[in-house]
């Protein structure tokens, strides 16, 4: 090695001197000795005006600024703690639909019912009676489930079509039916073997919608519990309604162009009798000449020997609007004035009361046809519905009489 290399190696061990860096002026490169300070100030003011309303961030190493647009005041958004489970309409469905008094009556009814039936009803509504500690708690949970309304709706919706049809027939009969005669009615109306309908009724009993009375001499009745009837009517709307149809060839045979309300025709007939009192025979029949005059006067309302005319006369005499004096009919004016001052609903009740003596359950039939909405109703479904009403009254009387 040469002496120079050795000297250089020794020289590296000496401490190095730190060089001072020249500070840069904050004015930037343009602020030199040859720049005008007034011009420099104007540029700064322009930069500040451009950056006004913006958020600026400058790095420590004097990098160019990053300008962000101003977002204004940040809105305070409330975040949902839980996500929505369904539509807004599904919320009120879980609320209690029964009043407190109705819930107390329902609880009293279930308390008197057999424990086996309460367990079946609670299981049909989606509960687990095996996990409930005591029967009192089962009754409380069953009352809460029935009070919601959605439980019974889901139960009816899950039923088979045959089960819904059998339940609708039992509702038509008033919720009470003899076990053998109900099966005959189901076979007559809907067809099928007896064995199938007995199985359907047994399945309805397994979910608590139908119960059976105590058997006496091999006879018992199927019963829908009273607290369930209203909710079943609401859920079985399509099965309980009468079918309807429209056809251009179907028309009314004896249609009259002038068809006023019956209250009008009753008042008109009473006025005619007051002005022209007819004579009666010993059989209490109107003389032929007077009857022909009345038929000619009321030709727009009814024809000769019409049952509508005899119904009007019976209504007037039954309600004492017309009375017999000697051999002539006369009007009781005080009763007629009272009739005219009645509310339309009260007048209608009197008319249906007189019509019920001729045709039982006539009001029910008229309301059933009226609910269809003006369409035609087939004859057989209407006859089947009327037959169930009549047989339901008979079944109810037989059950209460024992």
pLDDT one-digit tens code per residue, 281-301? 888 888 989 999 998 999 888
Mean pLDDT of 139-155: 89
Cα separation, 385 vs 379, in Å, equals 10
Q: Which residue has the tokens 């807004």?
A: 88
CB 270 within 8 A of CB 334: no
Per-residue pLDDT of 248-262, as tens digits, reads 888 877 676 778 888
The kind and range of the H/E element at 357 are helix 344-358
Distance CA 117, CA 71 (A): 67
Backbone conformation region of residue 285, classed left if phi is above 0, alpha if psi is from -120 to 50, else beta = beta
Is the per-residue pLDDT at 31 higher than 80? Answer: no
| Residue 29: pLDDT over 70 | no
pLDDT of residue 103: 87
And the tokens for 148? Answer: 């919601």
Contact 189, 197 (CB under 8 A): no
Residue 285's SS3 state is: coil
- Burial state string for 23-60 with b = 16 or more CB within 10 A and e = fewer than 16: eeeeeeeeeeeeeeeeeeeeeeeeeeeeeeeeeeeeee
Q: Are 236 and 164 in contact (CB under 8 A)?
A: yes
pTM over 0.75: no
* Strands 211-212 vs 176-178: parallel, antiparallel or unpaired: unpaired
pLDDT digits (tens, 9 = 90+) for 320-362: 999 988 888 999 999 999 999 999 889 988 998 888 888 888 8
| pLDDT, position 70 | 56
């Amino acid at each position: 090695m040469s002496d120079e290399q050795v000297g250089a190696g020794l020289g590296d061990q000496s401490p190095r001197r730190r060089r001072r860096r020249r500070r840069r002026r904050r004015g930037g490169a343009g602020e030199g000795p040859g720049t005008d300070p007034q011009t420099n100030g104007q540029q700064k003011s322009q930069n500040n005006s451009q950056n006004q309303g913006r958020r600026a961030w400058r790095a420590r190493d004097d990098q160019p600024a990053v300008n962000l647009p101003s977002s204004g005041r940040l809105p305070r958004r409330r975040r949902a703690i839980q996500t929505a489970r369904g539509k807004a309409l599904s919320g009120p469905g879980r609320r209690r639909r029964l009043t407190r008094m109705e819930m107390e009556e329902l609880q009293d009814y279930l308390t008197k019912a057999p424990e086996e039936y309460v367990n079946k009803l609670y299981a049909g509504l989606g509960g687990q009676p095996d996990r409930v500690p005591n029967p009192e708690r089962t009754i409380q949970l069953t009352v809460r489930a029935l009070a919601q309304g959605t439980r019974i709706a889901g139960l009816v919706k899950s039923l088979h079509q045959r089960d819904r049809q059998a339940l609708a027939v039992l509702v038509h009969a008033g919720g009470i039916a003899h076990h053998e005669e109900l099966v005959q009615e189901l076979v007559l109306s809907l067809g099928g073997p007896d064995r199938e309908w007995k199985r359907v009724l047994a399945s309805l009993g397994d979910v608590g919608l139908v119960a059976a009375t105590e058997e006496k001499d091999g006879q018992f009745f199927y019963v829908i519990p009273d607290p369930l009837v209203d909710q079943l009517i609401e859920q079985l709307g399509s099965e309980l309604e009468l079918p309807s149809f429209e056809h251009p060839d179907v028309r009314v045979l004896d249609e009259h162009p002038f068809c006023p309300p019956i209250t009008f025709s009753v008042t008109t007939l009473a006025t005619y009798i007051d002005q022209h009192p007819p004579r009666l025979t010993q059989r209490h029949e109107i003389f032929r000449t007077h009857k022909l005059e009345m038929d000619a006067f009321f030709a727009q309302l009814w024809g000769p020997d019409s049952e509508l005319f005899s119904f009007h006369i019976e209504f007037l005499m039954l309600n004492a609007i017309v009375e017999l004096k000697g051999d002539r009919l006369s009007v009781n004016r005080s009763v007629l004035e009272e009739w005219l001052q009645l509310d339309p609903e009260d007048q209608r009740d009197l008319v249906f009361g007189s019509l019920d003596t001729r045709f039982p359950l006539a009001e029910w039939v008229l309301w059933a046809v009226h609910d269809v909405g003006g369409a035609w109703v087939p004859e057989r479904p209407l006859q089947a519905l009327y037959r169930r009403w009549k047989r339901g009254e008979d079944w109810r009387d037989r059950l209460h009489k024992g």
